[in-house]
A = this chain, B = another copy of it.
Amino acid sequence: MKIALDAMGGDHAPMVNIVGAKDALALYPKITKLFLVGDEDTLKASCKEHGLTDQRVEIIHASQVVEMHESGAKTLRSKKDSSISVATSLVKSGDADAVISAGNTGAAVAAATLKLRTLKGVERAGIASPIPNEHGICNLLDAGANPEAKPEHLVTYAVMGSIYAKQVIGVKDPIVGLMSNGEEDEKGTTFTKETFALLRQLEATGKAPFKFKGNVEGHDLFQTKLDVILTDGFTGNIILKTCEATAKAMSKWLKLEFKRSPFRLLGAAMAKGAFKSVKERSSYESYGGSPLLGVNGVCIIAHGGSSALAMQNAIRVGMETVEQGVNPHIEEALAALQ
């Protein structure tokens, strides 16, 4: 298993990328090669600083970085020697099996789409972002690759997300829901209504690799047995960020309230383990990365604010996606619908 890591991508790069890589190498002997892509001098110094001396590491120089605030797709074209571009090329050339990036999402999606191309039958790739649902992992798809999706894109996402759930998460009969502004069949916009009709049509043919649950709402993200929740990339991105922001605000307000009395602070300290467990359960760190489904190769999008643990887990998700051979199964499932 050969991994290409965009070592310059993310808010805390290259430090967390290097430490995450080191931890992943220690945990996963299956990794035979780990390419660290980015400025050679910076990465050499960072490896030295963090004690990453593993022989499986190879630094690949890339002189540029697509910054987080830059327009991803546009900047990618002008910065030909950016770390995300060079890392993705390693998958294209077959030198690596998967590329992992916590950098500019738009740039990572554009690099994967342009260099690896989409799978047969796939018009647009989509990011499957894991949500900690009570019944297991539920993937929000698309979490931001395709903000102005068409109904047909969401149908492809339903197939891809289901195959991912089957192959990687081990779900037998995936259930797919469509995010809407109400659970009744008639709720939604022109876009979601068209998507709804297409999904019902596909289900009726008996060829869909999933059961379509219909429209779903906010509370279904966490409470309802669902493997995939479909949405356009604009709404999906906002949903993810809203979940994260709400959890952070709640946690911050609780801390402020605890501080209002020593008695409360003591109580909170006694219950500390509970807070830690919930944080672990709800944090993206534990999941690590979201596969970009639909490209001809494996590309894992990690959170921009990734910690070393998140990077390590993103590498793990990349390995699992490669191991389970998701892409051939997606092409097969899409071909079966024709």
Q: Is A181 an interface residue (CB 8 A)?
A: yes
Q: Specify the chain B residue showing the minimal Cβ separation from A149.
A: B189
Q: Fill in one digit per residue for A185-208: 1 if any B CB lies within 8 Å of its CB, else 0.
A: 010111010000000000000000
CB < 8 Å neighbour of A270 from B180, B220, B253, B264? B264
The docked-state distance in angstroms from the alpha carbon of A148 to that of B181 is 11
CB <8 Å contact, A184 and B69: yes
CB <8 Å contact, B241 and A238: no
CB <8 Å contact, A270 and B270: yes
CB <8 Å contact, B238 and A181: yes
The docked-state distance in angstroms from the alpha carbon of A85 to that of B272 is 51
Q: Is A144 an interface residue (CB 8 A)?
A: yes
CB <8 Å contact, B246 and A243: yes
Q: How far is the CB of A22 from chain B (nearest CB, A)?
A: 30
Could you say how many copies of this chain the assembly holds?
2
Q: Specify the chain B residue showing the minimal Cβ separation from A133.
A: B249
Residues in B neighbouring A182, C-beta threshold 8 A: 237
CB <8 Å contact, B242 and A261: no
Q: Is A314 an interface residue (CB 8 A)?
A: no
Chain A contact residues (Cβ within 8 angstroms of B): what range? 35 or more
CB <8 Å contact, B219 and A148: no
CB <8 Å contact, B235 and A222: no
Q: Is A114 an interface residue (CB 8 A)?
A: no
Q: Which of A148, A180, A240, A243 has the most CB of B within 10 A?
A: A243
Residues in B neighbouring A254, C-beta threshold 8 A: 274-275, 278
CB <8 Å contact, A189 and B261: no
Q: How far is the CB of A240 from chain B (nearest CB, A)?
A: 8
CB <8 Å contact, B219 and A248: yes
CB <8 Å contact, B250 and A221: no
CB <8 Å contact, A148 and B277: no
Residues in B neighbouring A186, C-beta threshold 8 A: 71
Q: Specify the chain B residue showing the minimal Cβ separation from A281.
A: B253
CB <8 Å contact, A282 and B218: no
CB <8 Å contact, A234 and B270: no
- Knowing A233-B181, A245-B218, say if A274 contacts B268 (CB, 8 Å): yes
The docked-state distance in angstroms from the alpha carbon of A265 to that of B274 is 10
Residues in B neighbouring A179, C-beta threshold 8 A: 238
Q: Is A147 an interface residue (CB 8 A)?
A: yes
CB <8 Å contact, A238 and B239: yes
Q: Is A247 an interface residue (CB 8 A)?
A: yes
CB < 8 Å neighbour of A250 from B134, B238, B247, B265? B247
The docked-state distance in angstroms from the alpha carbon of A87 to that of B263 is 49
Residues in B neighbouring A249, C-beta threshold 8 A: 134, 221-223, 282
The docked-state distance in angstroms from the alpha carbon of A221 to that of B250 is 12
For this complex, 10 residue pairs linking A to B, each with C-beta atoms less than 8 Å apart, are A147-B181, A217-B245, A219-B245, A220-B245, A238-B238, A246-B247, A254-B275, A257-B274, A267-B267, A267-B270
Q: List A residues at the B interface (Cβ < 8 Å).
A: 69, 71, 134, 144, 147-148, 179-182, 184, 186, 188-190, 192, 217-223, 233-235, 237-251, 253-254, 257-258, 260-261, 263-275, 277-278, 281-282
Having A219-B241, A246-B247, one finds 11 other A-B pairs with CB under 8 Å, namely A188-B234, A217-B245, A218-B241, A218-B244, A223-B245, A235-B235, A238-B239, A249-B282, A260-B273, A263-B271, A267-B270
